[in-house]
Homo-oligomer: A and B are copies of this chain.
Amino acid sequence: MQEVSEKRYIDIPEEVREAYRLYRPTPLVRARRLEKALKTPAKIYYKYEGVSPTGSHKPNTAIPQAYYAMREGVARLTTETGAGQWGSALSFAGMLYGLDIEVYMVRISYEQKPYRKVMMRLFGADVYSSPTTRTEVGRRILAEHPDTPGSLGIAISEAVEQCLKDENTKYSLGSVLNSVLMHQTVNGQESIKQLAKVDEYPDTVIGCVGGGSNFAGGAYPFLSEKLRGRAEKDTEFIAVESTACPSLSKGEFLYDHGDTGRITPLMKMFTLGHDFIPDPIHAGGLRYHGMAPSLSMLVKHRIIEPRAYNQVEALGAAVTFAQQEGLIPAPETAHAIKAMIDEALRCKESGEEKTILVLMSGHGHFDMSAYEGYLNESLQPFELPQKRINETVSNLKRLYPFA
């Protein structure tokens, strides 16, 4: 019902607020050392979700999803995970409310991030490397592409297929959906209050986008102020994706499935096509072929600006950030930091004293192999050639010519 609700606000249940108190409110911090190092007149604030139990913004929706499932008598939730952030978050939330959690983890991340598995098991979940031989869609894909690095689209298909086999099992999704984006707005609502305490309002809000929930959660409350004419500033919004998976910058605005196996309903969104398999970048959370429909619509109407960076430049920016501020960002977050530093340097040239808010979606403690690759100069940037996009998008258009 939350997915299709027309209400402007939906109350957070007291039980969920109580669980949020384990880590919320998350800190909003001014990056003074970074400002000084960049010699920028801009003021840089970061909202840091890395203090959550699993190190990212994901518990903000995992907790209410598990709570509502428990209330409805559900016994088990299945889900997919890319970098492992969402899978850990749902494992944690499931444990809070006594649910069994079954996680399909994208193969490349399963191999690159072994300790995410340990965390999920510590919180009581079962974790599988996707594609698996447990599902029909997994077996089919393994037969065709035995060496596939996997993708979020495939893992979603598997989790949904498993859920359909048992009546007491539901499927849980960590991004893209309206309800998920709405749960995440607790983040932006906190930021508005925290910034008001120091008499600030952002000129620019920057966040990374995979499925869109981190960005929407941090940015929509500010966007709502702007669109309702209540904001004191004409805030700009920058959604940062990976050049390896540039759905907003290079995809097309079409009806498509949320998963590779075409089990989910069609959604109108920017997409690279549901059978697009991104290169194995470290930012597993940015490897999604589509994008939240509401966010896609806002980009289509040029209310949000999309931007893409490759992982080498993103991790370089993250190292600069870590060396100044002492926090090691997740590879996904690194992409937002690259955009933030570019904006701060632009302010240095123009002399503008802008207030920049960057959404720090998580820490990189389980992604140190990405930094190892960066320091050893062994990382590939992965810039996606237009040809590969044309292929998967053409397939989609052939399949659904009406879209």
Question: Using a CB–CB distance below 8 Å, which chain A residues touch chain B?
Answer: 22-23, 33, 51-55, 92, 95, 114-115, 118-119, 121-124, 319, 322-323, 325-328, 363, 365-366, 368-369, 371-372, 375
Identify which of B51, B118, B326, B366 contacts A372 (C-beta below 8 A): B118
Are B326 and A122 interface neighbours, CB within 8 A? Answer: no
Are A375 and B22 interface neighbours, CB within 8 A? Answer: no
Residues of B with C-beta under 8 A to A53: 325-327
Residues of B with C-beta under 8 A to A363: 365
Are A22 and B365 interface neighbours, CB within 8 A? Answer: no
Q: How many copies does the complex hold?
A: 2
A368 in contact with B119 given A51-B51, A325-B22, A326-B92 (CB within 8 Å)? yes
Q: Which 5 A-B pairs have the closest CB atoms?
A: A53-B326, A115-B368, A365-B365, A118-B368, A118-B372
A122 in contact with B371 given A326-B53, A365-B55 (CB within 8 Å)? yes
A383 to B388, CA, bound (A): 59
A121 to B373, CA, bound (A): 12
Residues of B with C-beta under 8 A to A366: 365, 368
Are A322 and B375 interface neighbours, CB within 8 A? Answer: no
Are B319 and A122 interface neighbours, CB within 8 A? Answer: yes
Are A323 and B124 interface neighbours, CB within 8 A? Answer: yes
A375 to B92, CA, bound (A): 16
Within the complex, the shortest CB–CB distance from A3 to chain B, in Å, comes to 27
Are A328 and B92 interface neighbours, CB within 8 A? Answer: no
Kindly report which residue of chain B lies nearest to residue A23, judged by CB atoms. Answer: B326
A178 to B246, CA, bound (A): 55
Residues of B with C-beta under 8 A to A319: 122
Are B23 and A375 interface neighbours, CB within 8 A? Answer: no
